[in-house]
């Protein structure tokens, strides 16, 4: 293996990056990191200069993101006759700029040098690069390495203190230990994992917040993206959602009389514009039991004085059992190329059908709803932004409406779900998630799974609304703690590496 890495370092860096992606959802092959991260560090410490280390870091990142984001190509199959030429380019085009965020950690590890200084510098720089990736060019913090632990509630409990970025930091510190030699690494690794698990077990032993006296009904229509907007399918799709909603809401009302019932549809689930279509609102009102409330994903539109369509919003609409519209939330963080054309439309690639850009909403809001705690709505990938899912007023729960039908039966929906689960732990708030084709789920304020509708299933599921926990350290301080820890480790690693070089030189 070392002979191959020495003779083909660029290929080795790419393959190690791709293998590292296997630790991400849905596989969660975390033990693999104990091989890929030390091997990559070993490679970097043999680079002949900064330029070579940066290049190998970029190749590692390209392989990592190409393997982790291969599923974006699936979106093109909704109009394959139009986008067939883009199929071999889409995933590499996304992975290429993301690879640049791995070049900095590679340089830091090379600069700090072999041993523990390089491990500290690499972990700190990687974490800082992840944070930077969530901000630059509208931000894309997908597949943070810390999401690899989101297969269960126990290992993600430290996120309430240091967030998902902090999980990435600790993961890389542990994964890099084998470079010290297994005699030294084994006890440190065992101690670190034991402490991590012990904290998780302790955190989950604390009293569970009391359940809110309200019932949640998640409706998953399982409508494929390629038929979603066909004119002939609008009425059948709408009827499917009405029937699933009516049946589940009636069960919730009968089993828990007197409790508010919230029926939740995914992102753009309604094929009709609910804020403008009175007939659609009347049909929904007839399907809801008295006192129930619908929270539904729907496109919202506006027309100019000449009757021409002037604006579109990707929205969450609230509607009561009498057909009266309540608060509306407009998605604020839009998807480039999917919902709007960046760079003034210089690149003519619009995957979403339609010729008009969506307009962005004003930003994070907390909506007041009758009979239940206030909610922070998050549409689609707004939920992946750690530390940026609530407004100035703390809500009682988080609601994520999404349409992952774009990505079929791939890793994409599982990765999205893992990110959403971590927001619950970070904020100490229950999270309710409704997805068009799945995975719909409810997590409590500690990230425990309450219910789930599987990927590709059609149906509805009813459960109580978990209660909120007191604000976590992360909810109070946000990214400050993981940012400070990552910067400190980077500086310590670089300083220790410099001192070691001076000692060797003297």
The mean per-residue pLDDT over the stretch 197-206 comes to 96
- State the pLDDT at residue 503: 59
| Gap between the Cα atoms of 228 and 353, Å rounded | 11
321 falls within a domain: yes
In this prediction, residue 161 carries a pLDDT of: 97
282 and 144 share a domain?
A: no
| Model confidence at 147: pLDDT above 70 | yes
pLDDT, the chain, mean: 92
Is residue 51 in a domain?
yes
Show the domain range for 368. Answer: 212-468
* More confident of the two residues 456 and 304: 456
Residue 56 has pLDDT above 90, yes or no: yes
In a domain, 222, yes or no: yes
pLDDT at residue 230 in the model? 87
Pair 450, 487 in one domain: no
Across 154-171, average pLDDT = 98
Question: What is the predicted pLDDT for the residue at 132?
Answer: 97
- 235 lies in some domain: yes
Same domain, yes or no: 234 and 370: yes
In the set 130, 228, 267, 427, the catalytic residue is 267
Is residue 493 a part of any domain in this protein? yes
Asked if 464 and 485 sit in the same domain, the reply is no
With 0-12 / 13-18 / 19 or more C-beta atoms within 10 angstroms meaning exposed / middle / buried, residue 242 is: middle
pTM of the model: 0.94
Q: What is the pLDDT of residues 372-399, one digit of tens each?
A: 999 999 999 999 999 999 999 999 999 9
CA gap 49, 37 in Å, rounded? 20
198 lies in the same domain as 261: no
User: Within this chain, do residues 22 and 135 fall inside the same structural domain, yes or no?
Assistant: yes
Kindly report, residue by residue over 226-257, the tens digit of the pLDDT.
888 889 999 999 999 999 999 999 999 999 99
Average of pLDDT values for 170-183?
A: 95
Do 199 and 274 share a structural domain? no
Residue 140 placed within a domain? yes
Q: DSSP per residue over 347-399, as a string?
A: S----SSSSSPBPP-SS---EEETTEEEEEEEEGGGGGSTT-S--SS--SEEE
What confidence score (pLDDT) does residue 445 get? 97
Q: Quick one: which H or E segment has residue 208? A: none
pLDDT bin (cut points 50, 70, 90) of residue 87 is: confident
Residue from 331, 382, 426, 462 carrying the catalytic annotation = 331
pLDDT surpasses 70 at 62 = yes
Does residue 347 surpass a pLDDT of 60?
A: no
CA 311 remoteness from chain centre: 27
Reported as a single tens digit per residue, the pLDDT across 432-454 is 999 999 999 999 999 999 999 99
Domain assignment present for 474:
no
Same domain for 124 and 161, yes or no, is yes
Number of structural domains in the chain: 2
**430 pLDDT band (50/70/90 cuts)?**
very high
Catalytic, out of 228, 339, 380, 426: 380
Residue with tokens 């899912």: 389
Together in a domain, 354 and 488: no
For residues 341, 416, 373, 377, the Cα torsion angle rounded to the nearest 10 degrees is: 0
Catalytic-residue membership of 331: yes
My answer on whether 36 and 121 are in the same domain is: yes
Domain co-membership, 176 together with 27: yes
Per-residue pLDDT at 354 exceeds 70: no
**Is 139 within a domain?**
yes
The enclosing domain of 312 has a CATH number of 3.60.110.10
pLDDT value at position 303?
Answer: 86
Do 312 and 407 lie in one domain? The reply is yes
Catalytic annotation present for 228:
no
């Amino acid at each position: 293996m070392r002979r191959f890495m020495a003779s083909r370092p660029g290929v080795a860096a790419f393959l190690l990056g791709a293998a590292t992606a296997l630790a991400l959802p849905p596989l969660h092959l975390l033990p693999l990191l104990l091989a890929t991260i030390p091997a990559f560090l070993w490679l970097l410490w043999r680079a002949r200069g900064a330029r070579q280390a940066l290049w190998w870091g970029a190749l590692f990142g390209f392989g990592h993101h190409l393997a982790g984001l291969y599923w974006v190509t699936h979106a093109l199959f909704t109009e394959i006759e139009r986008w067939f030429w883009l199929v071999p380019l889409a995933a590499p085009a996304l992975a290429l700029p993301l690879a640049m965020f791995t070049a900095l950690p590679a340089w830091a590890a090379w600069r700090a040098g072999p041993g523990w200084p390089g491990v500290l510098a690499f972990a700190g720089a990687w974490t800082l690069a992840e944070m930077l990736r969530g901000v630059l060019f509208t931000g894309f913090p997908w597949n943070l390495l810390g999401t690899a632990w989101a297969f269960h509630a126990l290992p993600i409990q430290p996120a309430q203190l240091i967030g998902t970025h902090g999980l990435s930091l600790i993961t890389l510190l542990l994964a890099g230990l084998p470079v010290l030699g297994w005699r030294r690494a084994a006890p440190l690794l065992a101690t670190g994992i034991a402490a991590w698990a012990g904290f998780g077990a302790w955190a989950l032993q604390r009293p569970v917040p009391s359940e809110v006296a309200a019932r949640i009904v998640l409706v998953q229509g399982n409508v494929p993206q390629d038929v979603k907007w066909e004119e002939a399918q609008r009425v059948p799709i709408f009827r499917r959602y009405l029937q699933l909603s009516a049946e589940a809401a009636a069960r919730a009302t009968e089993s828990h009389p007197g409790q508010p019932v919230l029926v939740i549809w995914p992102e753009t689930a309604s094929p009709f514009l609910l804020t403008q279509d009175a007939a659609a609102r009347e049909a929904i009102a007839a399907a809801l039991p008295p006192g129930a409330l619908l929270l539904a994903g729907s496109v919202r539109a506006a027309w100019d004085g000449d009757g021409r369509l002037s604006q579109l919003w990707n929205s969450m609409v609230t509607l009561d059992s009498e057909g009266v519209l309540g608060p509306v939330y407009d998605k604020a963080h839009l998807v480039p190329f999917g919902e709007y054309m960046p760079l003034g439309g210089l690149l003519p690639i619009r995957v979403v059908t339609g010729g008009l850009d969506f307009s962005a909403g004003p930003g994070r809001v907390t909506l007041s709803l009758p009979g239940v705690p206030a909610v922070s709505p998050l549409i689609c990938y707004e939920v992946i932004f750690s530390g940026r899912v609530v407004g100035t007023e703390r809500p009682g729960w988080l609601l994520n409406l999404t349409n992952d039908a774009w990505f079929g039966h791939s890793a994409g929906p599982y990765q999205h779900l893992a990110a959403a689960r971590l927001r619950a732990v970070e904020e100490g708030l229950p999270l309710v998630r409704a997805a068009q084709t799945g995975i719909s789920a409810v997590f409590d304020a500690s990230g425990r799974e309450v219910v789930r509708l599987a990927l590709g299933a059609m149906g509805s599921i009813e459960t109580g609304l978990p209660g909120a926990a007191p604000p976590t350290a992360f909810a109070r301080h946000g990214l400050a703690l993981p940012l400070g820890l990552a910067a400190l480790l980077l500086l310590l690693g670089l300083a220790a590496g410099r001192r070691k070089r001076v000692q060797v030189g003297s």
